[in-house]
């Protein structure tokens, strides 16, 4: 009797390890959780499984961080793609945009993306846009 009980407990424990409880959550809950994660990571969750493939397209908050990319052109392309591939019906409550510049030239080049793409998107969707911009003077660093 003891051996049978132990085997059942072991089987249940193994089954619990294999469970993906996160994927069992309703999609609106997954989207809310992902709204607290960097948008690059959020999009990468689409590779987890078929269930996750399009969850990111309806996340209610975008967290765009330049530091997640090796160069500005790849960041700019990512921002354009994420905005154009979102569900039209999915509302965005907030867009957080973080940039850090090492030179004034970089800042002015990046301004086109900030004022063009993101402000237009936020305005057309009635969203709050939080902008966190940091400039580091190379001579003082």
Kindly list the domain boundaries of the chain, sorted by start residue. 22-135
Instruction: Note the pLDDT tens digit of each residue in 61-90.
Output: 888 888 888 887 888 889 889 988 988 777
Characterize the bridge pairing of strands 61-65 and 128-135: unpaired
Q: Are 11 and 39 in contact (CB under 8 A)?
A: no
- Given a cut of 70, whether residue 59 has pLDDT beyond it is yes
Say if residues 51 and 22 touch (Cβ distance below 8 Å).
Answer: no
**pLDDT higher at 101 or 135:** 101
What is the reported pLDDT for 30?
A: 93
pTM, 2 dp: 0.71
Given a cut of 70, whether residue 48 has pLDDT beyond it is yes
Judge whether 75 and 68 are in contact, CB under 8 Å. yes
Q: Which residue has the higher pLDDT, 16 or 28?
A: 28
Q: Which residue has the higher pLDDT, 5 or 88?
A: 88
């Amino acid at each position: 009797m003891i051996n049978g009980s132990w085997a059942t407990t072991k089987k249940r424990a193994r089954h619990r390890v294999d469970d993906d409880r996160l994927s069992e959550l309703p999609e609106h809950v997954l989207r809310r959780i992902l709204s607290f994660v960097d948008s690059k990571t959020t999009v990468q969750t689409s590779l987890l499984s078929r269930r996750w493939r399009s969850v990111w397209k309806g996340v209610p908050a975008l967290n765009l961080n330049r530091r997640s990319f090796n160069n500005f052109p790849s960041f700019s392309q990512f921002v354009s793609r994420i905005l154009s591939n979102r569900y039209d019906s999915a509302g965005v409550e907030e867009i957080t945009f973080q940039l850090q510049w090492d030179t004034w030239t970089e800042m002015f080049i990046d301004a086109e993306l900030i004022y063009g793409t993101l402000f237009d998107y936020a305005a057309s969707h009635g969203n709050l846009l939080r902008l966190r911009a940091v400039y580091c003077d190379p001579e003082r660093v």
